Structure 1
Amino acid sequence: MSTASKRNVLSLIAAFLLSPNIAVSESAEHDPAHAIWFEQPALNWDQALPIGNGRLGAMVFGGIGHERLQLNEDSMWAGQPTDRFNRGSKVKLDAYRESLFNGDHASVEQGIMRELSINQTPVRSHQTLGDLFLTFDHAEASHFHRALDLKTAVASVSYMHDGVRFQRQTFSSQPDQILVSRLTASEPGALSFTLRLSRPEDNGIPTATTRVVGSNTLVQSGQVTQVGGIDPNDGAGVRFFNQVTVVPIGGVLKKLGKDLRVENADSVIIYIAANTDFYTPDYVDRTRAQINAAINKGWKALKRAHIEDYQALYHRSVLTLEETENTSLPTDMRLQGVQQGAPDPAFSALYYHYGRYLLISSSRVGSQPANLQGIWNRHIRAPWNADYHLNINLQMNYWPADLVNLSELQRPLFEFIKRLAVRGRKRARENFGARGWVSPHATDIWADVWTRAARPYWGLSHNSNAWLVSHLVESYRFSGDEAFLRDEVYPLLREVCEFYFDWLVPHPQNGLLVSGPAVSPENRFLVEEGGELVERSTTMGPAMDQQVIGQLFKSTLEVLDHLAISNEFSEELEHKYRQLSPGIRLDENGRIMEWFYPYREAEPGHRHISHLYALYPGSEIHPLLTPEFADAARKTIEHRLEHGGAATGWSRAWMINFMARLHDGETAKHHLDVLYQRSTSSNLFDLHPPFQIDGNFGATAAIVEMLLQSHAGYIDLLPALPRDWASGAVRGIKARSGYEVGVRWRNGQLAHSTLRAREDGLCRVRYQGRELVITDEQGREVAASKNEYGIFIFDAHAETEYQLTTKI
């Protein structure tokens, strides 16, 4: 091993062992493993830096002459809760099913969306809160530095102008529900600038009123509108109030029309708070109270509380990969190097930490779930409304939560699922003739469950209820929280199962139960009609529906067994599960069939690969336990890629997870590199394009899947480690059954692993079929048996940390 390599390995081990629980001081250099930084301001939105506390956020541009804070609040939504778009009937559903069984796709596709859907794209978007612009008296600078410190969640800007160093620090505090920015200069009286608060118009119509209050405050109030929405009476949304209060030290602060002007100050603190009536009718008073409390608390105390709160989450996990000469470069230059093929393993560690940062910043207890853009949206009408797409996108946002030890950040998702269930019961009963509850392919903050699509290929999908509740089951598997399982998970699971008891119908070909009318999300197939091939999408029993429902039934049976529940429901569930048509069926080419029949795909390289749900995020396909299906999954993937598949950022992230689950670290790393090359902006946001945050979260989960898996009933160490990550360390990641895991490896081989048990029970662990030595906290070797798959099984005791090494 070279001297440089030895130094890298030693630094990795040191980074793994040293405690990270020390806040970075304001004067400290940024850790390249935990900072995104640049030598120039952001020229556009995709280069700005995101900050957020789950509910209140901003994109910080870091300009010299002009600074822009593009502001967000997670409940800034058009529309209102309504059931008046619920449509459909059990009689019509049965008629469409009969037509599909008879091969009549044409009449179904001509009529079914008129029957079930509002038959148009709804315009009810999440919207920007507005912008705070700072205009300075200088526009040139040297020694420029712009950064987002992931260890402290503080965005900073510093530069020199005319011999004076100017600095800004901005963060969004969860404890104080405030966004704060502090501006300083190295010389007294050097700070002069103008503040302006604005909000974009809605199709030419003003959306807010801005005024100056007193001598130091800008306020903006209004109601979200959506001109061109689905209904003129439905476009009105939440009422909002935004307050910006400026507190200078030294100098003069004065009103300048609708703006504020700071002249010759030594330093300035800007306090920003905003609320809507979605959360409380007292949203104006709440905003004022938050500002007043923050001013009384002061900058230092606010920052200390913010960092302590944030680091309690961020420091739970650390990933360290080998550094190269590129590691010290600015992030945009570093990304460019990665895109051109320069070796930089540590870049993936930075991306991992950034994904955790984004989740902490866009999803907190009490906030809304992270939407298609997290909380960072500059639009009045956002791409895809920045809404909640339930055919993969919202779910992908939360793939990493348990894995990276941030399980409680799923609480907004779980509360949202409960709201969907409330509204979904009415629709299931009245429009589908079914018990339980249903949810559609997309919804918004109001948790409406009406079908919203003009075309069936992207809107005729009602299996999201089953996919969503799988997140609650998985969360239990990680936490072991019995009260959560009994009181929250089981009731929702039961109702979704009851919906499918009534929704599923026997297929005339074999009598097995299939779902439908349905589609394979957003994909289409070719059928012959009138002597020519035409594109169709509506069918019965597509693979994804069958796989998701199969997982639902199997998981619920496990829950019933665990809770010792035996009743009429459990009997009906066992019967339906036995009668369910399988979701994994192979065609003549050895690939997994996407539909019940072996249709030709209209778009063989489609971005959705829904018929591999059973591989990921499901767990029915495994290279060791179901090798035939794993081989078929690989062939399915290869066919997609040959035709240009995984072209979007989120689809590429899904592909990385697929390959990790197939234990193919080299191909997983290849697709991670392609994600960096084609779908990553300079601020490391994922690009669909445009920006869509699910790719960030999906790839973060995939990085863990490459290092640790536990979905098959055992802990699998380094199952998909690529050669490029020759040496590294990770700690604080989670495995199912509540194990907290740390792993170190050198030269591609396991060096050491720790497993901390949550409770007494059998622990199952594997490392590439190699012999393992397991010791307890006293260094005593723990007896373990080994099965035919190379899985070691031993008795684990609660709150005990076990050490694992390979046998020499």
Structure 2
Amino acid sequence: MEFKETEKTDNSAKDFLQVFMYSYYKELILTQDTLWTGNPGDYTNPEAPKSLAELEINDSFLIGDFILMKVYQLLGDIKLGFDDSQETLQEEKYERVLDLDTATMKVNYSMGDAEFAREYFASNPDQVIAAKVSAYKPGYLALPYPWIAKCIIILMFRVEQCDWAIFLLVASSSFSGPFTKPEDSKRDPNSECASMLNSIKKFSYSGLYARHLDDYQKLFHQVSLQLSKSSDSVASESGAVSTADRVKSFKTDEDPSLVELLFQYGRYLLIACSRPGTQPANLQGLWNYMLEPPWEILQVNYEASGWVAHQVSDIWAKTSPDRGQAVWALWQMGGAWLSTHLWEHYTYTMDKAFLATKAYPLLEGCTSFLLDWLIGGRGGYLETNPSTSPAHTFTAPDGKRAGVLGKSEDDLIKRVHKAQPRPCPTKIARDGTIKEWAQDYVDPEPQHRHVSHLFGVFLGHTITVAGTPALCKATDNTLYMKIRDFYYSVEEGPGWSTTWIAALWARLHDSEHAYCMVKHQFDLVDPDHEANFEGGLYSNLFTAHPPFQIHANFG
């Protein structure tokens, strides 16, 4: 069984679980969100500031000191050995289910004439992974084998003639923040784990489960989506059909309940990746089964995962540009992009305390950076230089927003007022598309998967059907250029690009093209035969670049 075919059980207990199933061993793959390689350090090139002017022809001055990026690590894997090795697994009675409503992983199977059940959940309030294994035939459960990690036996025990067994797993690390070296940390993971286990002794298994359920459902039940006529009838009709088969058949049946499922699955993954105190998701979210994962950096393609610095940052808060081509290794506008969410959060909640204490200091720093980054260009406009593609110029607020906090007379706001009219406006190129650059350059790759120069349509609000119809028409032309090969099956985009373009079509009120991209997302990807940019879904509903990237799951 492939990693991309496993189910993920996780409710941000900081340690995360993936489940494989074999007839003899039941394997659990574990990760812990602060388990990374490396150390903190300052890799900034001190010569970079005085070399900016030379970057138009040479970008080597901007790159920080070369150092291998740090990577997210596998905590380990556990194999539970059961005394059923001589029995035959009845495949027709095998069922593995991830219940999104309860954030619980369930496995039911039969060996010989006995039926077994296993369930797992990761509790956020108690920071524990709980597992329960049961035999429906009294006294038939036996675990005579040790729990085995890859390199060392970590626990030896024996269970015989019981009806059920419960296992509790906690994990910790010595991580003390991005600026403390591991060897200088004062944290003791062993004592922390012992303390966590001691704190839950007073709860029964059902008590732990109830606390987990209450915590998770307060978030998960906030949003519902129904596209099908009857979710219950669709669920009953497809109850015996595997997720992989449902994805395969989507091209013909276009089952709307599968779209509902993918939407809610993305919310489930996002809840797991965004609890207070956890690390933001990287390109694989929080799930990994390798010591050297395929993605060694954060690579925030469109700020979907929550990291606020360079896309080559890591848990040690590295903010300098890294090795590689500027078209992908440099993204100085990521912070500006994310800052828009701060204001949207305020307009939704009208929480002035949040605006004053959390949002405004970040917006202030971001604005200062942008004002320093912009330089005078052709026609008297302000331009970002050096810049990269994909790129977009972000204008600062009009000052009224800062006025909410009585800061409209600050020097920074005065600089904003002075600069606000001068960024180059969005223009239409000779071919009728949205210009990506201030100058009308020939696009060497018009079908490229990035569309960040369309930010004004989505996630921004400066290009609208009602307000800027000419720019919307140019956006439509741009998108057609991007996806025309898709219609002729020459090249298809990765999952995150497919989702992004679908959202752009939706903002243009073009439901037909938006839905076309949704259907492309439901292409089933064979993990053994992956193409570079085909997109689609794996059988566990992870979205593919390929390989797996979590951005499209987040929408």
Query: What TM-score results when the alignment is normalised by the length of structure 1?
Result: 0.62
Question: Which residue matches 1:45?
Answer: 3
Question: Which residue matches 2:542?
Answer: 685
Task: In structure 1, give the amino acid aligned to 2:447.
Answer: G
Residue 643 (structure 1) shift: 4.1
Q: Matched residue of 2:37: which SS? A: coil
Aligned equivalent of 2:170, options 273, 288, 291: 273
When you count strand as a share of all residues, which structure comes out higher?
1
Question: Which residue matches 2:326?
Answer: 456
Of 569-578 and 169-178, deviating more is 569-578
Question: Which residue matches 1:515?
Answer: 384
Residue 662 (structure 1) shift: 0.9
1:127–1:380 Cα contact (<8 Å) kept:
yes
Q: Is it true that 1:298 corresponds to 2:204 in the alignment?
A: yes
1:202-227 Cα offsets, whole Å, 9 max, x none, are xxxxxxx7454xxxxx3xxxxxxxxx
Task: Tell me the distance in 2 between the aligned counterparts of 1:483 and 1:640.
Answer: 43
Q: Is it true that 1:140 corresponds to 2:88 in the alignment?
A: yes
Task: Tell me the distance in 1 between the aligned counterparts of 2:11 and 2:46.
Answer: 38
1:211-256 Cα offsets, whole Å, 9 max, x none, are 54xxxxx3xxxxxxxxxxxxxxxxxxxxxxxxxxxxxxxxxxxx3x
Task: Tell me the distance in 2 between the aligned counterparts of 1:300 and 1:66.
Answer: 26
Task: In structure 1, give the amino acid aligned to 2:504.
Answer: F
1:123–1:381 Cα contact (<8 Å) kept:
no
In the superposition, relative to structure 1, how do residues 459 and 88 fare at CA in structure 2: closer, same or farther (>3 Å)?
farther
Residue 460 (structure 1) shift: 2.8
Q: Matched residue of 1:628: which SS? A: helix
Task: In structure 1, give the amino acid aligned to 2:463.
Answer: I
Residue 559 (structure 1) shift: 1.8
Question: Which residue matches 1:81?
Answer: 40
1:319–1:349 Cα contact (<8 Å) kept:
yes
Q: Is it true that 1:288 corresponds to 2:194 in the alignment?
A: yes
Q: Is it true that 1:390 corresponds to 2:237 in the alignment?
A: no
Question: Which residue matches 2:59?
Answer: 112
2:146–2:153 Cα contact (<8 Å) kept:
no
Residue 75 (structure 1) shift: 0.6
Task: In structure 2, give the amino acid aligned to 1:144.
Answer: Y
Question: Which residue matches 1:311?
Answer: 217
Q: Is it true that 1:321 corresponds to 2:268 in the alignment?
A: no
% of aligned pairs identical? 31
2:400–2:408 Cα contact (<8 Å) kept:
no
Q: Is it true that 1:660 corresponds to 2:517 in the alignment?
A: no
Question: Which residue matches 1:170?
Answer: 120
Residue 503 (structure 1) shift: 1.7
Residue 121 (structure 1) shift: 7.3
Q: Is it true that 1:479 corresponds to 2:349 in the alignment?
A: yes
In the superposition, relative to structure 1, how do residues 317 and 454 fare at CA in structure 2: closer, same or farther (>3 Å)?
closer
Task: In structure 2, give the amino acid aligned to 1:77.
Answer: W
Task: Tell me the distance in 2 between the aligned counterparts of 1:274 and 1:313.
Answer: 24
Q: Matched residue of 1:440: which SS? A: coil
In the superposition, relative to structure 1, how do residues 64 and 308 fare at CA in structure 2: closer, same or farther (>3 Å)?
farther
1:153-199 Cα offsets, whole Å, 9 max, x none, are 11011122222210001010001100010001012332223243324
Question: Which residue matches 2:518?
Answer: 672
Aligned equivalent of 1:636, options 471, 478, 481: 478
**Map of 1:546-585 to 2, 5 A cutoff?**
546=393, 549-550=394-395, 553-554=396-397, 557-567=399-409, 568-582=411-425, 584-585=426-427
2:122–2:129 Cα contact (<8 Å) kept:
yes
Aligned equivalent of 1:335, options 247, 254, 268: 247
Q: Matched residue of 1:183: which SS? A: strand
**Map of 1:12-31 to 2, 5 A cutoff?**
none
Task: Tell me the distance in 1 between the aligned counterparts of 2:201 and 2:247.
Answer: 39
Task: Tell me the distance in 1 between the aligned counterparts of 2:511 and 2:237.
Answer: 23
Task: Tell me the distance in 2 between the aligned counterparts of 1:558 and 1:354.
Answer: 39
Q: Matched residue of 2:379: which SS? A: coil
Q: Matched residue of 2:69: which SS? A: coil
Q: Is it true that 1:610 corresponds to 2:452 in the alignment?
A: yes
1:327–1:344 Cα contact (<8 Å) kept:
no
Task: Tell me the distance in 1 between the aligned counterparts of 2:399 and 2:237.
Answer: 51
Task: Tell me the distance in 2 between the aligned counterparts of 1:515 and 1:596.
Answer: 10
Q: Matched residue of 1:356: which SS? A: helix
Task: Tell me the distance in 2 between the aligned counterparts of 1:480 and 1:131.
Answer: 46
In the superposition, relative to structure 1, how do residues 458 and 513 fare at CA in structure 2: closer, same or farther (>3 Å)?
same
2:43–2:64 Cα contact (<8 Å) kept:
no
How large is the Cα RMSD of the aligned pairs?
2.1
Residue 261 (structure 1) shift: 4.0
Task: In structure 2, give the amino acid aligned to 1:380.
Answer: L
Task: Tell me the distance in 2 between the aligned counterparts of 1:298 and 1:121.
Answer: 48
Residue 87 (structure 1) shift: 4.3
Q: Matched residue of 1:443: which SS? A: coil
Aligned equivalent of 1:58, options 2, 17, 21: 17
Q: Matched residue of 1:442: which SS? A: coil
Q: Matched residue of 2:435: which SS? A: coil
Residue 589 (structure 1) shift: 1.8
Task: Tell me the distance in 2 between the aligned counterparts of 1:86 and 1:301.
Answer: 54
Task: In structure 2, give the amino acid aligned to 1:161.
Answer: M
1:570-610 Cα offsets, whole Å, 9 max, x none, are 2210111112222x111112110112222222222111112
1:605–1:646 Cα contact (<8 Å) kept:
no
Unaligned ranges ≥5, structure 2: 177-185, 524-534
Task: Tell me the distance in 1 between the aligned counterparts of 2:262 and 2:24.
Answer: 30
1:747-797 Cα offsets, whole Å, 9 max, x none, are xxxxxxxxxxxxxxxxxxxxxxxxxxxxxxxxxxxxxxxxxxxxxxxxxxx
Task: Tell me the distance in 2 between the aligned counterparts of 1:306 and 1:316.
Answer: 16
**Map of 1:362-761 to 2, 5 A cutoff?**
362-385=273-296, 387-392=297-302, 395-397=303-305, 413=306, 417=308, 439-507=309-377, 509-521=378-390, 544-546=391-393, 549-550=394-395, 553-554=396-397, 557-567=399-409, 568-582=411-425, 584-644=426-486, 647-677=493-523, 678-698=535-555
Task: In structure 2, give the amino acid aligned to 1:141.
Answer: L
Task: Tell me the distance in 1 between the aligned counterparts of 2:379 and 2:301.
Answer: 28
1:132–1:195 Cα contact (<8 Å) kept:
no
Task: Tell me the distance in 2 between the aligned counterparts of 1:140 and 1:295.
Answer: 37
Task: Tell me the distance in 2 between the aligned counterparts of 1:161 and 1:91.
Answer: 70
Q: Matched residue of 1:148: which SS? A: strand
Question: Which residue matches 1:359?
Answer: 270
Task: In structure 2, give the amino acid aligned to 1:695.
Answer: A
Query: What TM-score results when the alignment is normalised by the length of structure 2?
Result: 0.89
Task: Tell me the distance in 2 between the aligned counterparts of 1:594 and 1:470.
Answer: 20
Task: In structure 2, give the amino acid aligned to 1:573.
Answer: V
Task: In structure 2, give the amino acid aligned to 1:112.
Answer: D
